[in-house]
Amino acid sequence: MFFKTKVFYSSRLPTRLFQKKNALYLIDTKSNIRLKQKNVFYLAGGEGVKKFSFLENVLKKMLELNIDRKGELVVIGGGSVLDLGGLAASLYLRGIRLTLVPTTLLSMVDATYGGKTAIDTSIHGLLVKNSFGTFYQAHEIWINFNFLKTLPKKERVSGVGELLKTLWIDNQKNAPMKSILAFLNIGSVDRKLAKAICASLKIKERIVAEDLYDKKNKRIILNLGHTVGHILEGLSKRLSHGEAVLWGIAVESLLVPKSIQSKHSFQAIQALGLKAPKELKRSDKEWMRLFYADKKRVKSEVLIPVLKAEKQIIIKKTNIKQLLKTKTLFLKLFCSH
């Protein structure tokens, strides 16, 4: 199924969005949106909702409401809720209409456009991200920057990590660091930051259109920092996705000597005042388990994109031995003091 997702930018969500009868509203309680109708399912957002049990509950709720094949799932919330909702919409009656309303910066720039839906699992007590999922494009996406003004600091940092990643892929000059720092410190969203968010969505739209189902390695550049980032997330109960990705970008940058990715990531980490996560020092055995659980792995290797220079991406075939060697080098260079 292919169609062009419609993206709307609005300072106020339209009334019609909340008046759908043949629909379920899946709402993140952190969004502070409360509806009086019965066709609502509330979830407390966070990575913990991306489980089979929550997926089954959402699907059963739609059955209880007698939603038919012309029905709709409207998902309002952060990235985890959007991932879960997208998967539910793709599975229910083999696919119904999907509308996404992201309420965090991370969900705006990472979980809306592209059609990747997923839930997690665990092995040996370690989180394995996005193990089971589908490709399913949203019909509509509604972007309202007012949601960003009330985000907690941790959510702001997480969103900035993914925003910077996407902007670096295209052109670092699009990253307005003064506006980003103002957003991190006081939650303000000025015109330059809004423009950068819009630019990141357009960058992702262009890349996804070339490889809708991730079969041609065109979308692989969107995985910048994600191999190490997902390992760090799998080892941690406190590290946000965007922060993990930033550290992943920094570590993976050492796969290519003198890459501009190294310069960008360390400047950002310093500007954001981030401290190296302790998960970087976890055992090689734990890293190995999560590396082999990576959904991008083919046999013993994962393709890792590295930004060598502006708009120049090098794809490195990387095995676990090479990745652990890179981790050791990173710790020696940047975490030895």
| Secondary structure (3-state) at 140 | strand
Question: Can you tell me the distance from the alpha carbon of 249 to that of 253, in angstroms, rounded to the nearest whole number?
Answer: 6
Stretch 141-156: mean pLDDT, rounded?
A: 95
Q: List Cβ<8 Å contacts ≥24 apart for 13-19.
A: 13/101, 13/142, 13/144, 17/74, 17/99, 17/101, 17/142
pLDDT of 160-169, one tens digit each?
999 999 999 9
- Can you give the pLDDT at residue 311? 82
- Would you place residue 336 in the very low, low, confident or very high pLDDT band (cuts 50, 70, 90)? low
Q: pLDDT class for 4, splitting at 50, 70, 90?
A: confident
Torsion 46-156-118-252 (CA) sign: negative
pLDDT tens-place string over residues 77-116: 999 999 999 999 999 999 999 999 999 999 999 999 999 9
Task: For residue 316, list its beta bridge partners.
Answer: 304
In terms of residues, how long is the chain?
Answer: 337
Report whether pLDDT(174) > 90: no
Mean pLDDT of the chain: 94
Residue 184 tokens read as 């991190």
The predicted model scores a pTM of 0.94
Sheet holding 40-43, edge to edge: 6-9, 140-143, 97-102, 72-77, 23-28, 40-43
- CA atoms of 79 and 158, how far apart (whole Å): 11
Exposed / middle / buried, residue 62 (Cβ in 10 Å: 0-12, 13-18, 19+): buried
Mean pLDDT computed over 182-195: 95
- As a whole-number percent, the residues of the chain with pLDDT over 90 amount to 93
The pLDDT value recorded for residue 331 is: 96
pLDDT, tens only, 255-312: 999 999 999 999 999 999 999 999 999 999 999 999 999 999 999 999 999 999 988 9
Structure tokens at 58: 């959402």
Percent of the chain, pLDDT > 70?
98
pLDDT at 2 over 80: no
- d(CA 115, CA 5) in angstroms, rounded, equals 10
Question: Tokens 């409207």 identify what position?
Answer: 74
Closest CA to 126 of 255, 294, 249, 14: 294
In order of their start, the domains of the chain are: 6-151 (3.40.50.1970), 218-334 (1.20.1090.10)
| 270-278 CB contacts, 8 Å cutoff, 24+ apart | 271/177, 271/181, 272/157, 272/160, 272/181, 272/184, 272/246, 274/157, 274/243, 274/246, 274/247, 276/247, 276/334, 276/335, 277/232, 277/236, 277/239, 277/243, 277/244, 277/247
The values of phi and psi at residue 132, to 5°, are: -130, 125
3-state secondary structure of 28: strand
CA distance 270 to 247: 11
- Which residue in the block uniquely carries the two structure tokens 């993990």? 244
Tell me which residue has tokens 């709709």: 72
pLDDT at 63 exceeding the cut of 70 = yes
pLDDT of residue 34: 95
Give residue-wise pLDDT tens across range 296-329. Answer: 999 999 999 999 998 899 999 999 999 999 999 9
pLDDT of residue 306: 97
**Nearest Cα to Cα of residue 229 among 212, 207, 246, 214:** 246
Give the largest CA-CA distance in the chain.
61
Question: In 257-279, which positions are buried (b, 16+ CB within 10 angstroms) versus exposed (e)?
Answer: eebbbbebbeebbeebeeeebeb
What is the rounded average pLDDT of the residues 119-130? 93
